[in-house]
Structures are given as structure tokens and as C-alpha cells.
Structure 1
Amino acid sequence: MISKDAHTPLEVLRDRKAETADFRKAAREVCTGLMQDLKVLLQQHEADPKRTTFVIILRSAIALLDPALREFPHAPVGVLGMKRDERTLVPYSYYENLPLLREQDAVVILDPMLATGGSTEAAVLRLLQRGADPEKIYFVGVIAATPGLKRLVAHIPRKNIILAAVDKKLDAHGMIVPGLGDFGDRYFGYDDGTLVI
């Protein structure tokens, strides 16, 4: 069920009563818009679309992959498996499969939520180790919290970050407030909008 006050796809994502099908539909709409914005930004930066690589952070970023590949059908895709320790909020890596990265390539990290910024920061540092140019690393996400955004701009230019919304704070569990709950759990149908901690 969607709240009668939820009129835009982002409002549907934030609606804790939205069912999985509605959440997925809204996520697809928001992510499609973000990818269209990315395409325009890369054109402004004179980046070659055929030299653009996407890197998804499992598992939530799977939601952004289809819209990304619709806009960039030839782009290679890398995968980073990272999980945040819920006690310490420190990320750890459990899987990596990245294509060859060249300094001239635009590398786009996809992750719907930028909360503390720990996983994204770890991803950026890994991409730098693999040869990416920090000026050509981009981030596309649905919602960021101000602390995570500040952490990310210490490594890549703010102009390279595309978001649907920025919320100001995190709660004691490192979740974005007001945010939308656990994006991955909601997208994959684990809780139908009920925050599970």
C-alpha cells in the first residue's frame, strides 16, 4: 500500500508502507532518471561513453544496473562485494571482480545509499589502487546522508556525484534519517517496508 501523500517515485521509496512491487517500480523510475543525468554529465565532461565502466557495490546496487546498462549498453561492469559490520559500521570486502581500469576511463560507482560513506570510500580507494583517475571517478546513488557525502568528496569531486536526495543525518545504527529504511531489504522483498535491525 502506498501512502496517499506519496506522489513522486522518491516519495514512494520513502514510504515505509510501500509494498515490494511499488518500491521496485519507484526505484526503477528514480534510477532511470539518475542514469539520464549521468549521461548528460559525462557528455559535459567530454567522457567517451565507450570508455565508461560501472562498478556496483553488492547487493543494493543491482537495482541501478539495468537502468545503467540501458543508457550505456557497451559499458563493462565490475563488482565489489562489501558489507558493513553493523556493530562497528566499518566495511569489509568479501568479493571483487573488476575489469581492467585505465586512467582515461570514467568509472562510475553505483550504490543507492551513501550513509556513513565507509563502503564507498573503500571502493574509491580500491579503484585508485587499480589505476582509476580520481577526477574521473563518479558516484550515482539515490539518497546520501551529509556525513557520507562529506567523506566521499574528500576523494572525488562533488561535481561527479549524482543523487536524488541528501538527508542531513544518520541514526545510532548508521542509517540515513529520514532515509527510506534498508534499500536492499526492501528492493529484494525481505521486509516490505518494515525496518529490520
Structure 2
Amino acid sequence: MSAPTAAVQAPDSSRWPGLHISTHPAVLHKLAILRAETTEPKKFREIVRELSWLLGYEALADARIRPLTVRTPLEETQAAELGDRIGLVPILRAGLGMVDAMLELMPTAEVWHLGLFRDERTLRPVEYYNKLPDSATVDVCLILDPMLATGGSATAAIDVLKRWGAVRIKLVNLIAAPEGVEAVTRAHPDVPIHCAALDRQLNDRGYILPGLGDAGDRQFGTGGT
């Protein structure tokens, strides 16, 4: 019997109080499937969707509610309904796979698309698409992007939303790298980050290690790392 392999030391997340890493067993189980290189695109998309629902549930735990009176088949009772208007901002293209799950959780949410791609030479974001209306129409914006790598795209998206007038913004990512968390926290300390895992580091190409490869390519079956 071979000796057990030593576990890789996880990064210390305590220096980022706005970072919320899920510890739910269902999240951890699904994340293992997502990471596996043998997971086919169809299954990968399914797991992205399921993880997004779970992370969205956690990210909205502090959403405001308002009282409501409803009538059951037997009598009236006091209840509550969501008081915040929610906006979903998927980062194209990888963030698209997270939208349907969020809409199942919050059917009345508005969806606004932002197109940002990473220049492979500079690793900096380039904006190419923006469908935000003239002024903010929601109370809480959830930026959806499976991977928080360098933090460049996330920081740029937050910049855009703040100029738009958004006040309460949250990032929802499946996996984050310490470099990305640090970049976002330094630029926008008021923006919480919700993720399933904080991985070890980036490689010289800006990919998260151990990560899961390119989330967009793996969702849409277009090859790549």
C-alpha cells in the first residue's frame, strides 16, 4: 500500500473578511465532479447550474424582506416576500451557465449582460458588450462568473456597475484564486465574494491551480485547458 499523499495547504482566507467560502457538503460533492477532467460538457453544465443555485441561496441570505398577509385554505397568516429587486449580471460567456439556476431561485430578477474578455497577452479585461439600462433599476446586483482568477474582469464589472448607480453588489464565483480575491478586495472592499472554493494560485497563463480548466470551454465543448 502506498503512503498517503500530503494535502496541499489551502490559502489563508481570514485576511479577507468579505470572502465567503461555502462549506455545504452538497457544494463540496458537486465541486469534485466539476473539477474532474473526465466530466463531459453536458454534465459540467448541469453541475455549474446546481452549484450556482446553492451559492445564490447563500449569497442572498441577507436580502431584505417585507411582511405579507396570505390566505391559506384554512385562514389568513403572516408571511414575507422578497423586498429587494435583484439584478443578475453574467459575465459573457462563462457566466451564462449560472443564470438559469439563479432565475429558478429568483424568478423576478432582471438579467443584464456584460461582455468582458481577457487579453491573453496582458491578462487584462477588455469590455465589448454592455446591455445595462441608463440607470440602476435594482437594489442588489449579483455578478456571475465561474472563475475569479486575476480579478481584472470582476473589478472592471464592479466599476461599470458602480458608475451605473448600483450600491449593493456581490460576486458569485464557483472557484476563486487568492490573487483575484486580493485584487477585488483592494479595489472594492465593500463587495462581498461568495464562492465554492479558494484555490492555491494562478499559473503563468492566469489559470487557477488546481482549478477546473477553462470554464467557458468546458461548458460549451470548445476545447482548451
TM-score by length of 2: 0.75
Q: Which residue matches 1:101?
A: 136
What is the one-letter code of the residue matched to 1:105? D
Q: Which runs of 4+ in 1 moved over 2 A?
A: 41-44
- Residues in 2 aligned to 1:19 and 1:98: alpha-carbon distance in whole angstroms: 33
Structure 1 counterpart of 2:165, which letter?
G
Aligned residue pairs, count: 181
Bigger Rg, which one: 2
Please tell me whether the aligned partners of residues 143 and 167 of structure 1 are also in contact (alpha carbons under 8 angstroms): yes
* TM-score relative to the length of structure 1: 0.85
Matched, 1:40 2:61: yes
* Distance verdict in 2 for CA 1:70–1:49, change over 3 Å: farther
The one-letter amino acid of 2:193's match is I
Question: Does the 8 Å CA contact 1:50/1:75 hold for their aligned counterparts?
Answer: no
Q: Which amino acid aligns with 2:33?
A: V
Query: What is the rounded CA distance, in whole Å, between the counterparts of 1:96 and 1:49 in structure 2?
Result: 27
User: After the TM superposition, which residues 66-105 of structure 1 pair with which residues of structure 2 at under 5 Å, given as runs?
Assistant: 66-99=100-133, 100-101=135-136, 105=139
Of Structure 1 and Structure 2, which has the larger fraction of its residues in helix?
1
Asked if 1:157 is matched to 2:185, the reply is no
Asked if 1 retains the 8 angstrom alpha-carbon contact of 2:53 and 2:102, the reply is: yes
Q: What displacement does 1:12 show?
A: 1.0
List alignment gaps of at least 5 residues for structure 1. 1-6
Per the alignment, residue 146 of structure 1 pairs with: 178
**Structure 1: how far apart are the matches of 2:216 and 2:171?**
18
Give CA deviations for 1:86-133 in whole Å, capped at 9, x if unaligned. Answer: 11101100110013315x711111111000000010000111111112
CA distance in 1, matches of 2:64, 2:177: 27
Aligned to 2:42: 21
1:8 match: 29
The aligned amino acid for 1:60 is A
Assess if the C-alpha contact under 8 Å between 2:84 and 2:140 holds in 1. Answer: no
- Equivalent AA in structure 1 for residue 61 of structure 2: V
Aligned-residue sequence identity (percent) comes to: 41
The question of 1:127 aligning with 2:161 is answered yes
Aligned residue number for residue 206 of structure 2: 174
Aligned match of 2:12: none
Give per-residue Cα distances to partners, 1:18-63, cap 9 Å, x unaligned.
111221222122112112112323259xxx5541111111000001
What's 2:216 paired with?
A: 184
Uncovered stretches (5+) of structure 2, i.e. residues with no partner: 1-27, 66-81
> Within the alignment, does 1:59 sit opposite 2:59 as a pair?
no
